[in-house]
Structures are given as structure tokens and as C-alpha cells.
Chains A and B, each alone.
Chain A
Amino acid sequence: ILNVEQSPQSLHVQEGDSTNFTCSFPSSNFYALHWYRWETAKSPEALFVMTLNGDEKKKGRISATLNTKEGYSYLYIKGSQPEDSATYLCAFLENTGNQFYFGTGTSLTVIP
């Protein structure tokens, strides 16, 4: 069983603030890292799939970076809006390409 950690566990920010959170994973045996957005009472939805060291992905106000050598990925949200409120999950895929290991998520609340 691999250890994937996300921090912080929860976060409250004011509307308009920018924020970021971290996903840490084993630096060896890396294959891919996925980010998902999970709203209450819904199912997780994909944000990014990252496979190469130094990858940077962007979708609107949300972006992510990847450092496979040191075993972390950052997710950034610029100018947070109330609709960004959700739990953000990362999932590490080890080098057999078979099993995903999910972090426990960062719960973001954006206060209007």
C-alpha cells in the first residue's frame, strides 16, 4: 500500500483569494498523477492527468505542476469563486500502471 498525502486537509478562503494545495507521493515508481474535483453529492470529475516531470497543466483559473523527482504536485486556484468549493483529490499511479492510490483530499470552501 502506497502513501499519498494531501495538505491541508481543509481550507477556507475568501472569494477572490488565490490558493494552492499539495499532493505528496512516492518519488520512486512514478507512472502518472491525476487530479479530480469532487463536489458534495456528486461523483469525482477529472481535472488533470500529469505524466512527465515538470508538467504544468491549466484549465481556466486552475493549474497544476508536477515534480516527480521530489514526489509532489501543486494545484493552484487563482481568484477563487464560491463555485470552486469542493474536495480536490489526487491519485497516484505506480509504475505497473494498474492501481491508483488516492489521497484523502483537500476540502476547499470559498466564502462569498
Chain B
Amino acid sequence: QMQMQESGPGLVKPSETLSLTCTVSGTSLNSRDYHWGWIRQSPGKALEWIGSLFHTGSTYYNPSLQSRLAMSVDASKNQFSLRLNSVTAADTAIYYCARILITYSYVIDFWGQGTLVAVSS
């Protein structure tokens, strides 16, 4: 059974870097049919697509975050990661990792449980 689990610090100081890892089990990242991505949800607010990557390392970022964002994949560990630098309070959110089906469209078909990251001094 497939599982996706986010991990990383729950508290980050302003201007520092937010780093999260998603560990995937029950399936391989090495699939031509899927991207692996991140979505966040600010407290009480709607969802925001952050970006995604292919198992080859090709990345696709939200332009609003692109200048601060880096994603990477470690296929040997079946993990992928997110780094967002120069964070502010506006980056406080629940961060979800997700699987995205790309064979016909861009469909987020499986989500991790999410991890809350607060930006505060």
C-alpha cells in the first residue's frame, strides 16, 4: 500500500531556509507516469501549488515561488525534497507532498498527510 510521509522542522526562523523531505513507500519514484510535488495550505486558507519534479530531476515551479525554491530527488532512497529560502511569516502553512499523474493531465491523485511549518522567531 502506497504511503507518502513528510518530514522536517516544524519551526523555521524568518529569513532562513525551510527544508522538507517526502519519503515514499509502496511504489517507486522511477515512473514515467508521475510527477512528485508539493502543495501548501496556509491556516484557514486555500491550497497553493508549489511545484513538482520528475524522477530524472526535471523541475516545474510556481513562478511566484521560483526565485526561492529548489526541489530535488533521491531515487535510491525513494525520497524527494523541498527547499524554500528567505522565508517569512507568509510561508507558514501545512505542506503536503503528493503524487501527480501526468499521462493525460496533471492530476494530484495521492497526498501525504501534511506537515505544519511555522515561520517565527
* Pair from one complex: no
